[in-house]
């Protein structure tokens, strides 16, 4: 038993060991690139660990979005009679709803988990050479993996419903890149601030709920009254959700002016978030 415990401890130490234990972390994009192997390992561990021991295992990435899809379709599509698409049928509503829920679910899950990701790893915070900037990226990539699994299901549903997949679906990876930049920047900021302001993690549920209903996910963007249309331009997730639907269901490319706005916002937040995190991480150990 002693040998087994020692072996397990050694394995865990290897799993969290920095890829360059004797080198200073250069930070910035170069630092992220140099730590890509460590990040890949930790994302893999996170994806497996989340469903380890559960009866349904890796089916949960499909069950969760399908469950929300059924719930929202019944409430908004059947009870409240919200309509999407040309046919305005319940099936059309379900497709448009899922195309909006997938990017939002990945985004909201990443933000929610980023508020505790640093606090959950005090042992890594105290490792001088550990690249802390990769910790907020772990839930982001993990959420993208989950989104990709559910996205495959959506493509099958689109194929069954429309009998073809629009060629404009090839633009989706471009939207995902903008989504990743936006999410990363916000997660770095939230992850850092949460170390100093512990109330942030308790505020996330309310904040994300308000943000969700300000985003045209369960209703079409055209349903917004004129005085509220500005939300479509100041809310980057509104543009991302709308472009998912345009590319997957409407057979149109992204709305390029809108894409340029939220992609630029994502890039700016990415740079600001990374710099902010790297400046504040020096005091994490003192606060924790």
Q: Mean pLDDT of successive 10-residue segments in the chain (288 residues)? A: 40 41 64 90 89 70 79 80 72 88 95 94 82 95 91 91 93 97 97 94 92 91 84 92 95 95 97 96 86
Total Cβ atoms within 10 A of residue 83: 16
pLDDT value of position 11? 39
pLDDT value of position 3? 39
Structure tokens of 264?
A: 């630029």
pLDDT value of position 19? 37
* Residue with token string 């397990």: 8
Sign of CA dihedral 192, 195, 196, 199: positive
pLDDT value of position 235? 95
The Cα 273–Cα 188 span in angstroms is: 5
Nearest to residue 22, comparing CAs of 165, 129, 150? 129
The Cα 287–Cα 285 span in angstroms is: 6
pLDDT value of position 10? 40
pLDDT value of position 88? 67
Running DSSP on this structure, what letter comes out for residue 250?
S
């Amino acid at each position: 038993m002693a040998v087994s415990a020692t072996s397990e401890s050694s394995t865990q130490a290897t799993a969290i060991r920095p890829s360059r234990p004797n080198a200073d972390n250069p930070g910035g994009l170069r630092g992220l690139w140099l730590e890509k192997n460590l990040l890949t390992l930790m994302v893999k561990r996170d994806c497996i660990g989340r469903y380890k021991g559960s009866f349904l295992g890796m089916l949960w990435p499909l069950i969760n979005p399908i469950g929300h899809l059924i719930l929202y379709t019944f409430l908004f599509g059947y009870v409240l009679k919200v309509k999407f698409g040309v046919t305005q049928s319940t099936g059309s509503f379900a497709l448009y709803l899922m195309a909006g829920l997938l990017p939002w679910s990945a985004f909201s899950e990443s933000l929610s988990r980023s508020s505790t990701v640093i606090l959950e790893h005090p042992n890594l915070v105290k490792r001088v050479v550990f690249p802390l900037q990769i910790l907020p990226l772990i839930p982001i990539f993990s959420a993208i993996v989950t989104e990709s699994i559910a996205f495959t299901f959506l493509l099958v549903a689109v194929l069954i419903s429309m009998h073809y997949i629009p060629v404009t679906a090839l633009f989706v990876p471009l939207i995902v890149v903008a989504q990743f930049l936006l999410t990363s920047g916000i997660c770095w900021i939230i992850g850092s601030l949460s170390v100093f302001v512990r109330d942030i993690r308790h505020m996330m549920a309310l904040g994300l709920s308000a943000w969700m209903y300000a985003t045209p996910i369960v209703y079409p963007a055209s349903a917004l009254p004129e005085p509220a249309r500005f939300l479509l331009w100041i809310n980057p997730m509104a543009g991302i959700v709308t472009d998912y639907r345009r590319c997957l269901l409407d057979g149109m490319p992204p709305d390029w002016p809108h894409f340029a706005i939220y992609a630029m916002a994502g890039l700016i937040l990415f740079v600001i978030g990374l710099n902010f995190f790297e400046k504040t991480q020096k005091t994490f150990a003192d606060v924790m």
